[in-house]
Chain A
Amino acid sequence: MCVGIPAKVVSVKDGTALVDASGARREVSAELLSSLDPGDYVMVHAGLAIAKITADDEAEAASVLSSIAPAEVNNGTED
């Protein structure tokens, strides 16, 4: 369920945002998000921007993991 795709906000007008997902653009409702600016990233689902997000999932993974298993992360070897 809930296919979501991250997209970059191109423009915002009257509660509607034009978003860009790797070159595919679509107008979505921005009514759930109070302050949205061009350049922000949002998670889009069924024509709705459901959350403002950061662009990078990997940096997030690193910080989440560091908080529960700092030893492994810091001593991990590179492959």
Chain B
Amino acid sequence: MDQERITLAHGAGGQKTAELIERLFARHFQNPDLTADDAAVLSLGGTKIAMTTDGFIVSPWRFPGGNIGELSICGTVNDLTCMGARPRYLTCAFQIEEGFPLRDLDAIAASMAETARACGVTIVAGDTKVAGRGQVDGCFITTTGIGELLPNIRTGGALARPGDDVLVTGDIGRHGSAILLARDSYGIEAEVTSDCAPLWPMMEHVFAALPQGDALHTLRDATRGGVGTVLYEIARESGVGIELRAEAIPCAPAVQGLTGLLGLNPLYLACEGRLVLFCAPAVTDAVLAALHETREGAGATRIGTVSAAPAGRVSLITELGTRTLLPPPTGELLPRIC
């Protein structure tokens, strides 16, 4: 550890992030409530709550389909949603670079308020810090949220079981594509907007429509590491294998074009408004029907199933009908050209 330094891969949500958490943070913070899930489920005076926190450092702060303000609410709301918790209260902390335009900050705050209202969550406290020029890139936001656990829902990354269906709530890789395009690092243009959205309203509808609450086993929002990273996490935490049908994975043509040019895999591009769901096959149709009645879940589809083996691995049934493994996440997203 003496010589090691933090690299971008440590923040990319893949294996290096997991290692950093396990070898460093978890070692120091070890306690029974520390969670590997999107939010911790806690008991406070007999009331079950979910609690989580998330930092946002997206650059540029505004991108097609959203901005960092909206994102900072969505990320935390979606983490609570994945635990089957109704998001209630949020706090936010701003780290702002000296020189950042006030009107941009106003736009960010307005967007946060609007997004919070849309999912019935209240922003109850905040903190403001200003850092010297160059110490922060524009504006960074951290939000912390508390939600109220629904009585009949119990989800977790370790609860997926063989036989489950694997669903995704819409086409993949939009947010990562929108950011890549907005940064204009590679001179590519495409009409792709971020999928950034608060998913509580969508899931509230699904929870209500669910014939049996315990049939929904795992929910996780596919953020920075994309759907592929989330599937590997769940395969590992649940000790199961996941088998996807390559042709069933929804991906917009422009996202395919972009990833084709850069040699990237859309399964590893970030989403900010997509959940991966694992449920008993008996309720798949009901879940999909409920999702299709919502705006955010209109493109929901079944992409695969869970098997007992090979545990911890995600495989794909290819267009040739053969089976291959999805390459595990490697961290920093690097274009493959030569």
Contacts and interface: CB of A to CB of B under 8 A. Distances in A.
Interface stretch (B59-67, B124-132, B142-150, B251-259): B251-259
Contact of A24 (B254, B336, B337): B254
A1 interface: yes
Contacts of B254: 22-24
A23 B186 CA distance: 15
Nearest to B254: A23
B134 interface: no
Contact of B260 (A21, A46, A47): A21
B2 interface: no
Contacts, number: 48
B336 A21 contact: no
Contact of A22 (B189, B257, B336, B337): B257
Contacts of A46: 337-338
B46 interface: no
Interface residues of A, number: 17
B120 interface: no
Contacts of A24: 188-190, 254, 257-258, 260-261
Interface string B308-338: 0000000000000000000000000000111
A46 B254 CA distance: 19
A25 B189 contact: yes
Nearest to A27: B187
Interface string A13-55: 0000000111111110000000000000000111100000000
A47 to B, nearest CB: 8
A1 B257 contact: no
Nearest to B189: A25
Given A21-B258, A24-B261, A26-B188, 19 more contacts: A1-B338, A3-B263, A3-B336, A3-B337, A3-B338, A5-B257, A5-B260, A7-B257, A21-B257, A22-B256, A23-B252, A23-B253, A23-B257, A25-B188, A26-B186, A44-B261, A45-B337, A46-B337, A46-B338
Interface of A: 1-3, 5, 7, 20-27, 44-47
Interface of B: 186-191, 252-254, 256-258, 260-261, 263, 336-338
20 contacts: A2-B338, A3-B263, A3-B336, A3-B338, A5-B257, A5-B260, A21-B257, A22-B256, A23-B190, A23-B252, A24-B189, A24-B190, A24-B254, A24-B257, A25-B188, A25-B190, A26-B186, A26-B187, A26-B261, A45-B337
